[in-house]
Structure 1
Amino acid sequence: MTLKPILLGATALAGLASMAMAERGSDGHVNLIYWQAPSIMNPYLTGGTKEREAASLVIEPLARYDEKGALVPYLSDGIPTVENGGVAEDLKSITWKIKPGLKWSDGTPFTAKDVKFTAEYCMNPEGGCAQLAKFEGVSEVEVVDDLTVTVHFDGPQPNPYGPFTGGTSPIIQAAQYAECTGARASECAEENFYPVGTGPFVVDEFRPNDVISLSANENYRDPDKPAFATMTFKGGGDATSAGRAVLETGEFDYAWNLQLAPDVIANMEEAGQGEAIAAFGTLVERLEMNLTDPSADLPDGERATTEHPHPFLTDPAVRKALSMAIDRVLLTEIGYGKAGKPTCDWVPAPEIYAANNTHCLEQDIAGANELLDEAGWVDSDGDGVRDKDGVELSILYQTSTNAVRQDFQALIKQWWGEIGVETELRNINASVFFGGDPGSPDTFVKFYADVEMYANNFDGTDPQSYLASRTCEKIPRPATQWQGENINRYCNPDYDALVKELGGTAELSKRGEIAIELNNMVTKDSNVIIPLVHRGRVSAKSNTLGGVVMNTWDTELWNAADWYRIEE
């Protein structure tokens, strides 16, 4: 038995196609605002969601996930399955057929060679690809002919839809990136800011951490799309100003990720310029524990590396006590209301993969204090901070600048103070924090702090690649240009072995069991990841913007080619 993708029927696809009105460029200009500004247009060199969102306007995968998590063809001519012969009977390969006649935005043909190149680009061990988990188990990508490519796996792969699907695994042009492989990947500014693509838009001007100017791709495969001739993708500011720009002033047409209290959004909507749109997926606000020493006393190339274990967060009792002290129910109430659910799980959905743990939902300050006492962490000098063997429980806790996150920080600092943990709070501009600059000391991937807080999710409805992101080889380090998704520097051979077992398991219920066990290993069993809130994704659209379909399983801009202007 193989895991089948959820396929979208022809009627639904036709419905999506009909949403775009008139002819290409006829609806003029559209304005987007993302309060986290993109720093690059290459999602392979950053773990930031904002870059993946922006890049999805320009570069595309073979297939995407729709708003229901169904896999739908984009650059491919269909979705390969065992039934239609696209997936091998032994599950060791998947063959994609490319739509004929596709062109890059520079007018050159899109071919299978570009697909193969993309895999080699990401799988290069010196390149530090941030999306390496998408290529877990891939042994070779074979060009069969110009419009056919086969992905070979090193063993049976019941879920072969990792490579080249979703917003985190788009195809880049081989000709453009030929000199940008391996260690040179992050040095190619022109290529990474102005990618040649197949998507509905092309980049005219890119200002890192500021604004992107785009225009309709003249070589886009549908001659009537996109309806908008030009687009401004404004970055920076904060969630409040972004929400107001759409819901109150009408200055912008779309605002992403309104991480605001529910009453604040409701008050903005009263102005009548637009509406908030929301959906639940797999987005989890969480704390990440750094298992390595981020001390500035260490040389820059050695900070937050596995050569130097963390002085106290390597103690499981400390991590567990930090989790026990938190009131997740209160955090959810003040931060998200009905748009949030307190959670103990890193993978909260779909249901077959959700552990539905409840062990952390009740705050236990007394229990946390008792646990630290038993582990030998005591306040030996009466300064209110626990210590052991000359090491104090003193934490630098960082996150991006955002009102809800700063509220969370203040409350968590208070609770940790009640268990004898000293906490210094730091917030960093979101455009920098989630950026991909390997030279910056302030990115969430470099993790020059003890604890940090953020949220992200995974493409589609299968968490295999997401869970694979915490294997040992995904640890960011100088040799990978500080790229990699395993920001905790967690390395557990048992976890790695279980990820490999998941990759070779076909029976769906068994896959669910393995995924739950993996979730529990980094949450319930070790508290390396401390989940807080299962968040609904909330964004805003103006009343004059049509065709928007909220999607939590891919990028929110997944169908921007279908957007159009509604006449007032």
Structure 2
Amino acid sequence: MHEDRLRHLLDLIRGGVLSRRDALRRLAGLGLTAPMATQVMALAGVSPAAAQAPGAEPVRRGGGGPLRLLYWQAPTLLNPHFATGATNQDASRIFYEPLAGWAADGTLLPVLAAEIPSIENGGLAPDGRSVTWKIKPGVRWHDGVALTADDLVFNWDYARNPATAAVTAGSYRDVTVVKVDDLTVRVEFRQPTPFWAETFVGSRGLIVPKHLFERYVGAASRDAPANLRPVGTGAYRFVSFAPGDVLHASLNPDYHLPTRPFFDTLEVKGGGDATSAARAVLQTADYDFAWNLAVEDDILKRLEAAGRGRVVFIEGGDIELLHLNPTDPNREVEGERSHASTTHPALSDPAVRQAIGLLVDRDALEQFIYGRGGPATGNVLNNPPRFRPPQPSRAFSVERANEVLEAAGWRRGPDGIRAKDGVRLRFVLQTSVNAPRQRTQALIKAAALRAGIDVEVKAVAATVFFSSDVANPDTYTKFYADLQMFTTVMTQADPQRFMNQFVSWEMASRANRWQGRNIYRWRSPEYDRLFREAEGELDPIRRADLFLRMNALVLADGYVIPLVGRPRVNAHANALRPVLSAWDNTLWLLSHWGREGG
């Protein structure tokens, strides 16, 4: 049995997220008999009455005082449809909600929905061509206007409009949303669709109010005042926001769960670095929670020894990838570098890509840098388990890299750097400012130099690198470098949305304001075909096989090099009870966060 999974289930029960019946069912899934599960809940201080229904505990709203969160990569906007990067998605999630979210065990929990659709309750069509969602009655926006089906239909129209350039467009583009009545919508698919929990679900399903955004559709979408002053349905209401710095919110007295939330005020402080954030929670206790602690594991262990907080590792599908640019970042076409019509003068050679892959020592990254926070992997797709392929070879060999380059005609010059037909192997490797990433850059640079490749390392402030600023050349979505490194987040317990980051129609470009999910500019007609087939494959075994074949295609081409898996690593004060999931935003169920004894 996994201790962390058991602890998480007990937190969900204490917080009133799960009914007693659901709790017993899930504990049974961990191998506990019903009597044993009941005894475990009792020993953990969970009474039968406390686990009867969602919202049963606590008995009143508020009284928890301030909740202070540290996000060292600070958010820069508060519209979920433009939220590139996890920090912007999390900040938007404070105010906006989806119909349902993904719990830690990969199941769906209703948020704005009255229930999760199923064949039994008539929500799922047996032929896989539609799903019907019922909205929870009585939900109101923060300004008092009622949430209705019209808001959902509007979000569909808003996000799928190409001129809006929404990062969520892929979740709405290929469906039709029909209003059934004031509190019901039907999402219709073009074909039988096995993964129906996409539109209005999870991190890309947050719903914004029609009455505040309907004047700002398409080309005017970036002008909406609510992009920075959100009016949502969430447990906390907007107070103030300084992009790149600090966000303040306060308890929503009209939240649709009568005894939620617990905390009276919320502060999300941005900036600094991950190590300082860890210290502020684990050592000095100045903050309650620190997000995404990409910190060397030995440092985390030393800080945790102070006894003021704990580090939590939640395994999911997030992964740190090294990307090799198929396009030319130094050539401009129609005012755009890394244009899809260009080809990289050196990385287009498979031998160069193979050599770079041999120069990445993943095992050293795990052993000496990431530890518990970065298990080495050679796969892009690592979770959920039923979609996990066998580990490919993770060979590290400078000698073999030299042999590959020599055989391909790349000869060393007087300075030791290889060249061929006037093209020298000189690359810029960029990533965000972060100690483990800078150490990773140093390892790659040192190994590359031994193979005759000159790597210039470039570190960009996280608030710039992960921002949505269309005017800034250093954002990761523009990819104006030869090599690039960051973590790709998997926010669903299904690989479909995760793996669409490699399809050709999602390529980031000036035309879509660099909002396309395919930041890598990688293209493969065979990958596109397999992805389309998986979208309509109802047989779970055949569908899993299609995703495994997609993973193999990405690896074979060598433009994308997996480094380490990235379990969600956060720290929180000992008394804080966050409800976390690796399959959704960190703040996916902020309404249910509490403190021991509160």
TM normalised by structure 2 equals 0.89
Contact 1:127 1:481 in 2 (8 A): no
In the alignment, which residue of structure 2 is the partner of 1:373? Answer: 406
Q: 2:560: which partner in 1?
A: 529
1:508 is matched with 540
Q: Is the 8 A contact 1:397 1:451 kept in 2?
A: yes
Which stretch shows the higher mean deviation, 250-259 or 10-19?
Answer: 10-19
* Cα-to-partner distance string for 1:530-552 (whole Å, 9 max, x where unaligned): 10001221111112323x12311
* 8-17 or 275-284, which deviates more: 8-17
The equivalent of 2:428 in structure 1 is 396
Which residue is 2:126 aligned to?
89
Q: Distance in 1 between matches of 2:372 and 2:508?
A: 36
Question: Residue 334 of structure 1 is aligned with which of 368, 392, 396?
Answer: 368
Q: Which runs of 5+ in 1 are unaligned?
A: 1-7
The answer as to whether partners of 2:579 and 2:590 remain within 8 angstroms in 1 is no
Q: Is the 8 A contact 1:365 1:419 kept in 2?
A: yes
CA distance in structure 2 between the aligned counterparts of 1:482 and 1:555, rounded to whole angstroms: 22
Q: Give 1:544's aligned residue.
A: 575
Give the distance between the partners of 2:105 and 2:451, measured in 1 at CA: 43
CA distance in 2, matches of 1:254, 1:540: 6
User: 1:225: how far off?
Assistant: 1.3
Q: What is the Cα deviation at residue 567 of structure 1?
A: 5.6
- For residues 450-492 of structure 1, the C-alpha deviation after alignment (integer angstroms, 9 at most, x for no partner) is 1111112222211111112221121111111121110111222
- Aligned partners of 2:160 and 2:173 also within 8 Å: no
- What is the CA distance between 1:18 and its match in structure 2? 5.6
| Contact 2:310 2:573 (8 Å CA) reproduced | yes
> Which deviations, in whole Å up to 9, do the C-alpha atoms of 1:344-370 show, x marking residues without a partner?
1111111211122322x2212222222
1:36-51 superposed matches below 5 A: 36-51=73-88
2:96 to 50, 59, 83: 59
Within 5 A, what are the aligned runs for 1:446-485? 446-485=478-517
Question: What is the DSSP-based 3-state SS (H/G/I as helix, E as strand, rest coil) of the residue aligned with 1:452?
Answer: strand
Partner of residue 382, structure 1 = 414
Return the match for 2:154 from 112, 117, 122.
Answer: 117
Q: 1:425/1:19 Cα in 2 relative to 1: closer, same or farther (>3 Å)?
A: farther
Deviations 1:396-417 (A, max 9, x none): 1011111111110000111111
Maintained 8 Å contact 1:132/1:474: no
Matching residue's letter, 1:479: A
Task: Give 2:183's aligned residue.
Answer: 147
Counterpart AA for 1:304:
S
Task: Report the CA distance between 1:179 and its aligned residue.
Answer: 2.1
**SS state at 2:337 partner:** coil
Q: Residue 519 in 1 paired to residue 551 in 2?
A: yes
Counterpart of 1:126 in 2: which secondary structure?
Answer: helix
Give me the whole-angstrom Cα distance separating, in 2, the residues matched to 1:310 and 1:126: 29
Shift of 1:299: 6.3
C-alpha distance in 1, partners of 2:515/2:161? 12
Higher relative contact order (CA 8 A, sep 6+): 1
| Distance in 2 of aligned mates of 1:275 and 1:87 | 41
Return closer, same or farther for 1:469/1:131 CA change in 2, 3 Å cut-off: farther
Deviation of the 1:499 alpha carbon: 0.8
Name the SS for the 2:227 alignment partner. Answer: helix
CA contact (8 A) 1:445 1:482 kept: yes
Structure 2 counterpart of 1:492, from 510, 519, 524: 524
* Displacement after TM superposition at 1:22 (Å): 4.8
Residues 22, 224 of structure 1: 8 Å contact kept: yes
Structure 1 contact 92–152 (Cα < 8 Å) conserved: yes
Does the CA-based 8 Å contact 2:332-2:339 persist in structure 1?
A: no
2:590 corresponds to which of 554, 557, 560: 560
Partner of 1:266: 301
Map 1:292-311 → 2, pairs under 5 A: 292-295=327-330, 298=332, 301-311=335-345
**Helix, strand or coil at the partner of 1:332:** helix
Q: What corresponds to 2:32 in structure 1?
A: none
CA–CA distance in structure 2, aligned partners of residues 539 and 156 of structure 1: 39
| Percent identity (aligned) | 38
1:364 paired residue among 354, 372, 397: 397
Structure 2 gap segments, 5+ residues each? 1-16, 24-49
Q: Deviation of residue 163 (structure 1)?
A: 1.0
Offset at residue 218 of structure 1 (A) = 2.6
Please list the CA deviations of residues 140-197 of structure 1 after superposition, one character each: whole Å capped at 9, or x if unmatched.
Answer: 1111111111111111111111111112221111111112222222333x22112211
How far did 1:99 drift?
0.7
The Cα of 1:19 is off from its aligned counterpart by: 8.4
**Residue type matched to 1:219 in 2?**
D
Counterpart selection for 1:80 from 110, 117, 127: 117
1:238 aligned onto 2:299:
no
The DSSP-based 3-state class of the residue aligned with 1:455 is strand
Alpha-carbon distance in 2 for matches of 1:550, 1:223:
21
Moved more, 307-316 or 425-434: 307-316
Q: Give the distance between the partners of 1:160 and 1:541, measured in 2 at CA.
A: 34
Moved more, 20-29 or 417-426: 20-29
Amino acid at match of 1:553: W
Structure 1 distance, partners of 2:433, 2:57, is 36
Contact 2:429 2:457 in 1 (8 A): yes
Match runs of 1:187-202 below 5 Å: 187-188=223-224, 190-202=225-237
The answer as to whether partners of 2:373 and 2:566 remain within 8 angstroms in 1 is: yes
| Partners of 1:25 and 1:230 within 8 A in 2 | no
Root-mean-square deviation (CA, aligned residues, Å) is 1.9
Q: Report if the CA contact (8 A) 1:60-1:170 is conserved.
A: yes
Off by >6 Å, runs of 4+ in structure 1: none
Partner of 2:10: none
Secondary structure at 1:250 match in 2:
coil
Structure 1 residues 410 and 20: alpha-carbon distance in aligned structure 2, compared to 1, 3 A threshold: farther
The structure with more helix, counted as a fraction of residues: 2
Match of 2:259 in 1: 224
Q: Which residue of 1 aligns with 2:379?
A: 345
Q: Taking structure 1 as reference, are residues 75 and 18 closer, same or farther at Cα in structure 2, changes over 3 Å only?
A: closer
Q: Is the 8 A contact 2:55 2:257 kept in 1?
A: no
2-structure distance, mates of 1:336, 1:287: 16
Q: Which residue of 2 aligns with 1:10?
A: 19
Task: State the 1:30 CA deviation.
Answer: 0.9
Match of 1:179 among 215, 228, 232: 215
1:247 CA displacement: 0.7
Give the equivalent residue in structure 2 for 1:32: 69
Name which of 165, 186, 200 aligns with 1:164.
200
- 2:398 and 2:60 map into 1 onto residues whose CA distance is 62
Aligned to 2:468: 436
Q: Does the aligned pair in 2 maintain the 1:21–1:564 contact within 8 Å?
A: no
Aligned-pair CA distance for 1:97: 0.8
Question: For 2:314, what is the secondary structure of its paired residue?
Answer: strand
Taking structure 1 as reference, are residues 245 and 22 closer, same or farther at Cα in structure 2, changes over 3 Å only?
farther
Aligned partner letter, 2:560: I
Displacement after TM superposition at 1:292 (Å): 1.4
Aligned position for 2:356: 322
CA contact (8 A) 1:384 1:420 kept: yes
Q: Residues of 2 paired with 1:387 and 1:203: CA distance?
A: 56
Shift of the 301–218 alpha-carbon distance from structure 1 to 2, 3 Å rule, reads farther
